[in-house]
């Protein structure tokens, strides 16, 4: 009887375990938000999408943490390829096509994308916060919320759609071919 209650407790925790990192990142963002809002009200400069914002993006490309501009999109592309191949094998609608043109599929596709990349988006936001602090000695949570997900969502979506198309056109995969199949 005790084992059954241990398993049910473990399964309840497993359901929420994937949300630990995003919740920590959300807490960090919320901690920095009051100071960022104070700075906006004091200076009148919203920072997002201003010339200083784009100039700071270029500084980040050459400063500390520049490896993340390669590593994060690469991981997102690999996850997109994995999910696109799964879509093709399941005969599912291509990701971008489904999101853009099939309103009824959109919630399911977006939920699947969120579960697939949630932790990497949280890591991207966290790394952006850290790099801002190290480079500028100041944190702007709005910029992290824009830049972090863009580094992940765009490459993921494109890779998922393209790998689905390529897998569909490529015919059966090696693992699906009969043993006596001779090309």
Residue 4 lies in a domain: no
Exposure string for 14-32, b = 16+ CB within 10 A, e = fewer:
eeeeeeebbeebeebbeeb
pLDDT of residue 24: 94
CA distance 50 to 162: 33
Residue 11 lies in a domain: no
Q: Which residues of the chain are modeled with pLDDT < 50?
A: 174-183
Residue 2 lies in a domain: no
CA distance 6 to 111: 29
**What is the residue range of 64's domain?**
21-169
pLDDT of residue 81: 94
CA distance 83 to 81: 6
Residue 98 lies in a domain: yes
pLDDT of residue 96: 82
The token pair at 166 is 């390529």
The token pair at 19 is 């949300």
Residue 76 lies in a domain: yes
Half-sphere exposure of 157 (CA within 13 A, CB side): 14
pLDDT of residue 174: 47
What is the total count of domains within the chain?
1
């Amino acid at each position: 009887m005790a084992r059954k209650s241990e398993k049910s407790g473990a399964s309840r925790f497993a359901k929420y375990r994937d949300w630990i990192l995003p919740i920590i990142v959300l807490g960090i963002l919320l901690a920095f938000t009051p100071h960022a809002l104070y700075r906006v009200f004091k200076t009148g400069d919203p920072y997002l999408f201003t010339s200083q914002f784009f100039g700071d993006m270029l500084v980040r490309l050459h400063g500390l943490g520049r490896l993340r501009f390669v590593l994060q999109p690469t991981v997102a592309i690999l996850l997109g390829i994995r999910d696109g191949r799964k879509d093709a094998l399941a005969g599912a609608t291509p990701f971008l096509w489904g999101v853009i043109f099939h309103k009824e599929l959109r919630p399911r596709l977006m939920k699947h994308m969120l579960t697939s990349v949630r932790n990497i988006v949280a890591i991207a936001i966290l790394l952006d916060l850290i790099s801002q602090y190290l480079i500028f000695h100041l944190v702007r949570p709005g910029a992290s919320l824009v830049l972090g997900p863009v580094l992940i969502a765009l490459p993921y979506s494109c890779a998922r759609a393209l790998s689905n198309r390529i897998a569909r056109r490529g015919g059966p995969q090696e693992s699906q071919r009969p043993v006596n199949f001779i090309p």
